[in-house]
Amino acid sequence: MRRECEISIQGSTEMQVPERFICDHTFSADGPLLICVGGLHGNEPAGVEASLRISQAIELGKITGLRGRIISILGNRSALRQKVRFISTDLNRLWIPQKVNKIKDALINGGVKTLEPEEKEQLELYQCLEDILAQEKDRELYFIDLHSTSSHGSPFIICADSPESKSFATMFPIPIVSGLGALVGTLLEHMTSLGATSFVCEGGQHDSNETIIALEQLLLSVMLKLRMINGGEDASAREVLRSLTNGVPRRLHITYRHAITEKDQFRMKPGYRNFTAVKQGEVLATDAQGDVSCPSDGLIFMPLYQARGEDGFFLVTPFDEAN
């Protein structure tokens, strides 16, 4: 279908991006509706590329459709074009009712031109989602939000806070991290409130080829699990995911968040990957006050290796699935 993204991920200063709809394949009138979003953060092109690859495999007959409908949507088009996380505000923090009402009001009252860049993106996304859901009232709804991190390391899932989403997420051989409940206004939260069984997958480091592979294999696994495509045994997709998540516990909980602001001049020490074991007292970073020491033993999670962010790092610890 549209291949512009793949050929321009690296190199040029500005990326050509696909249209809002990356793909839309209806296999049958029955079966689930799977909505995927890639590039909700503009410096995270891997989810876009993974969706394009799945779409191309379907179009070339390499994987054949059985049931349902898959739609992949582009997140922050203008930020993707500039290869930045966002232009003026984080598009993944705008999905609270008050802010959704603001864009709806702008549409009704002719105020769209006055909206911030991400509010315009949000409005387009909102309209896409409303149109799709109006057409597809009877299908079971699944939503996967494809992201990546500034640090290297294993892919992981952040699951929506619903029993259906939790049991669905455990079907895939990827660690699930819980305890990020403080994040407000995510698209995940919005889609869950609309009845979707949902999770976020962080596929790995933003520009790593392994991240594209992880997200592509996850999408394949999801479609196989939902019996949307004809792949028989999904052993090979699961094997790839297992090798990328090698040695990381399956369930982890956040025990610490190191919040930062721009004034802190936070700089992470190089070399930390997601889920690396760290010790209490270990110097993990520096800031305006000097060394930043690790407050307790644990596994480091999402250490910040990009300019923008409000979280320097997190600590996670494994927990028993029975608890």
Task: List residues binding Zn ion (CB under 5 A).
Answer: 41, 44, 147
Shortest CB 151 distance to Zn ion, Å: 12
Shortest CB 17 distance to Zn ion, Å: 16
Shortest CB 14 distance to Zn ion, Å: 20
**Cα 209 to the chain's mean position, in Å?**
16
Q: Which two tokens stand for residue 71?
A: 């739609």
Decide: residue 105, CB within 10 A, 0-12 exposed, 13-18 middle, 19+ buried.
exposed
- DSSP calls for 72-94: EEES-HHHHHHTSS-SSS-GGG-
Shortest CB 202 distance to Zn ion, Å: 7
Q: Which is nearer to Zn ion, 31 or 43 (CB)?
A: 43
Shortest CB 3 distance to Zn ion, Å: 23
Q: Which is nearer to Zn ion, 44 or 119 (CB)?
A: 44
Phi, psi dihedrals of residue 87, rounded to the nearest 5°: -90, -55
The answer to whether the beta carbons of residues 178 and 165 sit under 8 Å apart is no
- DSSP calls for 152-180: -B--EEEE-SSHHHHHHHTTSSS-EEE--
Q: Which two tokens stand for residue 117?
A: 């860049």
Q: Which is nearer to Zn ion, 188 or 240 (CB)?
A: 188
Q: Which is nearer to Zn ion, 79 or 229 (CB)?
A: 79
Cα–Cα distance measured from residue 168 to residue 222, given in angstroms and rounded to the nearest whole number: 9
Q: Which is nearer to Zn ion, 201 or 226 (CB)?
A: 201
How far from 264 is each of 149, 244, 293, CA to CA, in Å? Answer: 21, 34, 14
Q: Which two tokens stand for residue 152?
A: 């290297």
Q: Which is nearer to Zn ion, 120 or 147 (CB)?
A: 147
Report the first-to-last Cα separation within the chain, whole angstroms. Answer: 45
Q: Which is nearer to Zn ion, 41 or 53 (CB)?
A: 41
Q: Which is nearer to Zn ion, 33 or 148 (CB)?
A: 148
Shortest CB 183 distance to Zn ion, Å: 11
Number of H helices, E strands in the chain: 9, 16
Shortest CB 44 distance to Zn ion, Å: 5
Alpha helices in 160-292 (DSSP H): 163-169, 187-193, 209-225, 235-244
Strands ordered across the beta sheet of 283-287: 267-268, 283-287, 290-293
Shortest CB 311 distance to Zn ion, Å: 12
